[in-house]
Amino acid sequence: MTTVAPSRARRIADLVGRARELGIVVALALVIIPTAFVNPRFVEAQGIRDLLLNASVVAVLAAGQTLVVVTRNVDLSVGSTLGLSAFLTAQTFADHPDTPIVLGLLVGVGVGLVCGVVNGLLVAVGRVPSLVVTLGTLYVFRGVDFALAQGTQINASNLPDELLDLGNGRLFGVPVLVLITLAVVAAAALYLRSYRSGRDLYAIGSNPEAAVLAGIPVPRRVFTAFLLSGAVAGLAGALWVARYGTVDAAAGTGLELQVVAAVVVGGVAIFGGSGTVVGAALGALLLGTIASCLVVLRIPAFWQQAISGALLIGAITVDRLLALRLARELRGRSDHDA
């Protein structure tokens, strides 16, 4: 009996992924069109810009989270990492107003890298389940944030205008923050698709034991995934400062659940091995759009959580059904080729 060629399996998986992304686009249309009938201003240029801005930070976090989830892991500490990096970035600019913008952003990325190293070492080297590790570091990083902040708050008046322009300025009519988000998503997508170490992440998520037998350095790749997730979360913290201006120790609280929901709704299998960064970003846009539509339609805010939860459960169910169907399809083709 011959086995199915990996390229054929990959083509089938890619087809399923594109179908999921197209489904998100259709869902976006089904959400936006009725809302536009109620309030036509919702689809005006400013309304579209607001939708994109509101989803930007979550989309950035989702790009980093995708790298982890495809390895059959999860990073629940991204919200706390964002909060810690946001406060330290804002404090750097407040204490040293002449700090170059790029250097200030690198402070946020550096804080995220440190958090990613902690998570990566515990998961990849210590072999502790990622759910346990990142649930613990979620509270540790947040505790460090509160200890450093000591109840203080940094306001937009303490921050340079050049930084705030990143969160509220435009370039050729497009918000700068949206352009940065697109760059992050494109870079993560390119890494997963075009680099061997990125493709290895899919192999690890599909079958960790087989990945080891194939010679893939699994611990190193998993460590890299958490390192990159931390760095992206750190960048998201710096962008949070640029977007909202006012920062305290509670910044980003609870954001990790929105990010995981966006990733899974976007078609990244919670069981690992499949999904795209583009899909995760679209998932963030869909959840953000739903939240905005509920406000326009004057529907109570608690329905947002209920809808997000229902979408998450539905996405996980669809992922499982698709995985089983894909496995049957591959086995059927293998038997046919025997």
* Contact criterion met (CB below 8 Å) for 328 and 90: no
Of 98-107, 287-296, 312-321, least confident by mean pLDDT is 312-321
E-strand ranges in 67-206 read: 170-171, 174-175
pLDDT at 90: 93
Within a domain: 21: yes
Within a domain: 317: yes
Within a domain: 228: yes
What pTM does this model have?
Answer: 0.87
Structural domains counted in the chain: 1
Within a domain: 251: yes
Per residue in 68-122, pLDDT (tens digit) is 999 999 999 999 999 999 999 999 998 888 889 999 999 999 999 999 999 999 9
How far CA 221 is from CA of 119, 200, 225, in Å, comes to 13, 7, 6
**Whose structure tokens read 């790298």?**
67
CATH value at residue 72: 1.10.3470
pLDDT at 13: 56
Instruction: Output the CA angle 283-219-325, nearest 5 degrees.
Output: 45
Provide the domain limits for residue 226: 6-329
Q: How confident is the model over 187-213, as a mean pLDDT?
A: 90
Within a domain: 75: yes
Within a domain: 334: no
308 or 249, which is more confident: 249
Within a domain: 336: no
Per residue in 269-289, pLDDT (tens digit) is 888 878 889 989 998 998 888
